[in-house]
Structure 1
Amino acid sequence: MLWKKDCKQVQDRGNAMYTDLLNSQGLERIYERHKVSCIQMKCGYGPYEKNSKEALRFRQKGNAVFGEKKWMHAIECYNKSICFAKDGSELMGLAYANRSSCFFNLKMYRNCLIDLGHAKENHYPAEKMAKLDERKAVCLRMMEEEIDRSEAYHAKLCYEPNENFPCFANVLKVANNTKHGRHVIAMTNIEVGKTVMVDKPYFAETINQKFQRCNICLKTETNLKPCKTCVYTMFCSQCEENDLHKIECAVNQIHYSTLGFISFRMVVIRSILIALNTFSGIDELIAGVEEMLLSDVTEVPESLSEPQTKYRAFFKLCPNPKQQTDGALQRKVYLIYKLLMESAEFAKKFNSDEHKRFLMHLIGHHIIIIKDFIRNDRYKTGTQGVFGEDIEVYYEHCMSIPASYFNHSCAPNAYITSQNGSTVCVSVRPIRKGEELCVAYDEHVLLEEKAERQQMIQEKFKFQCKCKRCESPLLELLSRKPSLRILSDCNYQSFIADLNAMDDVKSISRDQQESLKLNIFSLLKKYKNHNWLYEISRIIYSLYTVALIESESLERGMPYVGRVLNFDLE
């Protein structure tokens, strides 16, 4: 059981350590299998060290993609070149210079100038320096003539931020009752299309977009810089000095290529590191955790503006902190515990039996929260992993504490998506003052009948949905009945035609994506007073389609229709 103390020690001394969660036989074999798996992955997926040949190969690949005008794909290749290049080498300077050309063609002129600076700082050849100066002059001229798109796709609140919950607009508040638990309600009427939450992740990690996103905050479309040790980690300028990756990098440099829980483990490790950074020492962390265990598990946080209040809110997401531990949880705790204790710096902090046992329970607590509340993209492979579990490949993990406060509805009035690393909530139906904001936990329920929706929610989220659409036979009937008025609307017909034309996401530019979103919200505003109809479901569902296309665009290279300047590449 989590957070159970040793009864014998309580009787003997009046105070006691937590029980040893890892005293079962056979756990050593789990760690041995993990080590073998890591060796196999290293042999099959290397190299994992700085490598000039790889840096050159990726830069040349980027040049080829650049010639096809796939700027984001080219940026990914140049990022790989930057990661494999030795720090301060000419290879790194050349890759930065080429990446600046991509930013220029994306009309992200500020980013272009930053990369020109990085190129000069990293031994860009002196005999070619005039090319960079010419590019800088053209860039500065274009900034005077056109709008700089460097910050064009960053989400922003439509209202002033909430003083205690800066990620929320000041029109929202978090409430709590026995029926709904923690939930979010509107403090005033909210129109369709209003961005009411923009939350940077409490912690996050990307697997498949590691050369496109900041390893700490998942920000993309920015001037990423590499880890100086490993070759699979990049940081934005705000996260460059963050110390979270230092221990992770030492724990295991090849975790990005592993599958199943092996990839999931690193986000748990990161959550433990954040807990340590939140308190001044281990004893203060223990005292804080023990106070939280004694207080109301359903409490609403006073704020999310300070590190300790954020961690308290995260810790309180565990619905039953003293629940029974099963064998699967025990094995996962064991592996993460062993990985952390491999770090000499970490082991020095947890050098007593009391601290080590506390760490075991803290890891278990974090695993339970992350398993239930973290937003991730994954798919099952049909094979089994180290623990005998079905392997799921995780693409991305993102922990948003405020997003966990939104309840589910099959007829939602808001939707949650990701935008450039942030978790964003936007209203999709009119919301009255005092009304709860609800989102669809799985967008596929929007288009399904009640029986299929109920089964989907029960299997995936372990509860029976009792939203107004599921509880009202009339609303369910209306949601399956076509609306001739909407179907005959030329704007709706144009919207459907645009959706059907998006089979090949490679042909969809970012401007076209933004235009489609504007059309979607225009339709939602036009029919805001209609009951929940099938066409409403389809329009809202399309928002998730656009979000998927945005993600696919990052992976495959975002095309852009406009002026192209083919600077000489190195």
Structure 2
Amino acid sequence: MPIEAQLETVKSNASPKANPEARALREEGNELFADGKYANAMKKFNDSLRLAENGSEEVGLAYANRSSCFLHMKLLDERMVDLKLAKKSNYPTHFMPKLEKRIAQCTVLLKNKQLKSKFEVHEPTLSFVEHTKFAGVTDCLDIWTDDEYGRHVITTRDLEVGQTILVEKAFSMVPTKRMNMGRDRCVNCFREFKIFITCENCINSRFCYDGCMEQSNHSLNCNLPTPQAQPQLSQLVLEILFKANEAFPDVDILMKTVDTLLNGEEAIGLTNVIQREFRFILQLTSNHGKRSDAQIDQLRNV
């Protein structure tokens, strides 16, 4: 039986969305906004979106109110998207002229570039062409094995200070409690201050508007019961299993690939990005055969 069908048997069908709670959160956000606490107000509007019933006016109102936070945070592109989402989300008809006026004003600001964003995030990029085998690694790196060092990484060219040769991305990840304390993050990429959309079937997940829901495995774990013991570890194990299942639909191929890579041999036929990420993490496992646990801990702390 496919994993999708098996998971459906343990999922909860209860819909916890409720407009009264969503409205109360939105009103709390309005009070924070009036006090100039825009980041805190945005969190309330995001929480309101999570609880707003699908197709209700509360969805459109939350988007519209959140767009005002983006304006004061000088995130005009995000403001425009929220205004358009509000317009498409059953926004109250009697407020529509006000919404249209905001869209027109935002269009002028975007055209004239009158506001500069306060939030400019630097995204590191590779200094050279990406490796054909390993995702996020330049083509000047390779994995060697010899008697002195065991398995290790080398470079095939001279490198200069400041050049980026690896952009590390976790194969699977879940947020810690500390990361979530008072913060709004996408459950797929963990970024903040983004245009968040929420799942229509649960209240626990928010995603970046530009594709994070589609990139995640949320369709598999939506409304799954959360284990009481070590919930974060359990969630991480599920994420790894879901991602491996997506990359290797045949479990026999997955097992053969793991054995091949752990033996230091070349796995043939791994072509998609997830398979390349999977290959990389296994081929860079710590070489305990050549170094003691104390030496490895020392390297980690350098």
TM-score, scaled to structure 1:
0.43
TM-superposed CA distance for 1:114, in Å, is 0.7
Q: Is the 8 A contact 1:205 1:215 kept in 2?
A: yes
CA–CA distance in structure 1, aligned partners of residues 76 and 47 of structure 2: 22
SS in 1 for 2:136: coil
CA–CA distance in structure 1, aligned partners of residues 93 and 170 of structure 2: 41
Aligned partner of 2:279 among 312, 316, 320: 312
Matched AA of 1:222: K
TM-superposed CA distance for 1:95, in Å, is 0.7
CA–CA distance in structure 2, aligned partners of residues 241 and 102 of structure 1: 26
Q: Is the 8 A contact 1:200 1:217 kept in 2?
A: no
Aligned partner of 1:88 among 55, 58, 63: 55
Q: Is the 8 A contact 2:286 2:296 kept in 1?
A: no
Aligned pairs for 1:368-407 (under 5 A) are: none
| Superimposed CA distance per residue, residues 116-143 of structure 1 (whole angstroms, 9 cap, x where no aligned partner) | 1111121111111122222222222222
Q: Is the 8 A contact 1:216 1:239 kept in 2?
A: yes
SS in 1 for 2:238: helix
Aligned pairs for 1:327-346 (under 5 A) are: none
| Superimposed CA distance per residue, residues 122-173 of structure 1 (whole angstroms, 9 cap, x where no aligned partner) | 1111111122222222222222233653983141326244242452456x52
List gaps (5 residues or longer) in structure 1: 1-46, 321-456, 470-570
**Are 1:267 and 2:236 an aligned pair?**
yes
CA–CA distance in structure 2, aligned partners of residues 138 and 207 of structure 1: 40
List gaps (5 residues or longer) in structure 2: 1-13, 288-292
Aligned partner of 2:206 among 220, 229, 234: 234
Aligned partner of 2:121 among 127, 146, 153: 153
CA–CA distance in structure 1, aligned partners of residues 299 and 124 of structure 2: 32
CA–CA distance in structure 2, aligned partners of residues 151 and 238 of structure 1: 20
TM-superposed CA distance for 1:60, in Å, is 1.9
TM-superposed CA distance for 1:67, in Å, is 2.8
SS in 1 for 2:45: helix
> What is the match of residue 66 of structure 1?
33
CA–CA distance in structure 2, aligned partners of residues 316 and 295 of structure 1: 6
> What is the match of residue 250 of structure 1?
223
In structure 2, relative to structure 1, the CA distance for the partners of 1:231 and 1:466 (3 Å cut) is: closer
**Are 1:220 and 2:201 an aligned pair?**
no
TM-superposed CA distance for 1:77, in Å, is 1.5
**Are 1:187 and 2:157 an aligned pair?**
yes
Matched AA of 2:55: G
TM-superposed CA distance for 1:276, in Å, is 1.1
SS in 1 for 2:143: strand
> What is the match of residue 560 of structure 1?
none
TM-superposed CA distance for 1:81, in Å, is 0.6
> What is the match of residue 19 of structure 2?
52
> What is the match of residue 251 of structure 2?
285
Q: Is the 8 A contact 1:176 1:299 kept in 2?
A: no
| Superimposed CA distance per residue, residues 526-567 of structure 1 (whole angstroms, 9 cap, x where no aligned partner) | xxxxxxxxxxxxxxxxxxxxxxxxxxxxxxxxxxxxxxxxxx
| Superimposed CA distance per residue, residues 347-398 of structure 1 (whole angstroms, 9 cap, x where no aligned partner) | xxxxxxxxxxxxxxxxxxxxxxxxxxxxxxxxxxxxxxxxxxxxxxxxxxxx
| Superimposed CA distance per residue, residues 462-508 of structure 1 (whole angstroms, 9 cap, x where no aligned partner) | 845379x8xxxxxxxxxxxxxxxxxxxxxxxxxxxxxxxxxxxxxxx
Q: Is the 8 A contact 1:97 1:119 kept in 2?
A: yes
Matched AA of 1:223: I
SS in 1 for 2:141: strand
SS in 1 for 2:174: strand
CA–CA distance in structure 1, aligned partners of residues 167 and 115 of structure 2: 24
Q: Is the 8 A contact 2:137 2:166 kept in 1?
A: yes
TM-align CA RMSD:
3.4
CA–CA distance in structure 1, aligned partners of residues 170 and 118 of structure 2: 21
CA–CA distance in structure 2, aligned partners of residues 212 and 184 of structure 1: 40
SS in 1 for 2:213: coil
TM-superposed CA distance for 1:205, in Å, is 2.0
Aligned length in residues: 274
TM-superposed CA distance for 1:294, in Å, is 4.4
Aligned pairs for 1:171-186 (under 5 A) are: 173-177=141-145, 179=149, 181-183=151-153, 185=155
CA–CA distance in structure 2, aligned partners of residues 298 and 319 of structure 1: 12
Aligned partner of 1:276 among 245, 248, 258: 245
The structure that has the greater radius of gyration is 1
TM-superposed CA distance for 1:277, in Å, is 1.0
| Superimposed CA distance per residue, residues 80-113 of structure 1 (whole angstroms, 9 cap, x where no aligned partner) | 1100111121111111111111111222111111
Which structure carries more relative contact order (alpha carbon 8 Å, separation 6+)?
1
CA–CA distance in structure 2, aligned partners of residues 184 and 212 of structure 1: 40
> What is the match of residue 105 of structure 1?
72
TM-superposed CA distance for 1:197, in Å, is 3.8
CA–CA distance in structure 1, aligned partners of residues 167 and 299 of structure 2: 28
Q: Is the 8 A contact 1:62 1:73 kept in 2?
A: yes
TM-score, scaled to structure 2:
0.76
CA–CA distance in structure 1, aligned partners of residues 150 and 74 of structure 2: 46
SS in 2 for 1:182: strand
In structure 2, relative to structure 1, the CA distance for the partners of 1:155 and 1:56 (3 Å cut) is: same
Q: Which has the higher strand share?
A: 1
CA–CA distance in structure 2, aligned partners of residues 146 and 247 of structure 1: 43
